Amino acid sequence: MSVSPANCDRLLRLPVVQDLTGLGRASIYKAIVERAFPKPVKLGRASAWPESEVRRWIEARKAERCAA
């Protein structure tokens, strides 16, 4: 069985999430606690975020800016 790229959701580690969002580690984890940022997927000791969820979060911030 082959998985098409459209059905695949890459998991992003913290440095990549920081680069995409412009947020620091503490800000990301604070937003998670406040339920304002997607929760990570636990990979043993490591954590990663589904790329689609991070990109939706970014798009929502852009939409808020345009609506204001």
pLDDT at 23: 98
Can you give the residue range of the structural domain that contains 29?
Answer: 10-67
Q: Is there a domain that residue 1 lies in? A: no
Q: Is there a domain that residue 46 lies in? A: yes
pLDDT tens profile 57-67 = 999 999 998 88
Cα 27 to Cα 14: distance, rounded to the nearest angstrom: 12
How many folded domains does the chain comprise? 1
Strand ranges across the sheet with 41-43: 11-12, 46-50, 41-43
Q: Is there a domain that residue 4 lies in? A: no
Residue ranges in the chain whose pLDDT is less than 50: 1
CATH number assigned to the domain comprising residue 21: 1.10.238
